[in-house]
Amino acid sequence: MAKRRPTFKIYSYGEYAEWDRTSKNIPKILEFSTEIDAKIGTEFGYVLHIKNGKGEKLDFEIDHPPFTDEAGNIRPPFTGEQYIRTNDFEFYLGDCIWEPLEDKLGKWELTTWYKGQVVAHKIFNLK
């Protein structure tokens, strides 16, 4: 029997409650929006619901406004991978605003790929 192809759907997006990165729980959505009123600690992003993908790998990128690291170098986009742990899996891709606030304002582009194909993409405007 052939393996079923995974399905992907953005379940929610916008501003979320504070996320405990050590927990398996997805943060709670506070407001559906791509326009985010940024304050220190504001959490934003999207939740991607994946069915029939156990054992498969997702790649992701968070492209952000130009800001510098501790050494004064412009930070590249954040990239990574996530393995799908179950056949009914939720993946949260997002970020939290930290100091200084001013260099975090602007366009944040979040993208998730499966086998080189975009399966989720959202652009957030932090203002």
Indicate yes or no: pTM above 0.85: yes
Q: What is the pLDDT along the chain (127 residues), one digit of tens a residue?
A: 556 799 999 999 999 999 887 888 899 999 999 999 999 999 999 999 999 999 999 999 999 999 988 898 999 999 999 999 999 999 999 999 999 999 999 999 999 999 999 999 999 999 9
Cα(8)–Cα(105) distance, rounded to whole angstroms? 29
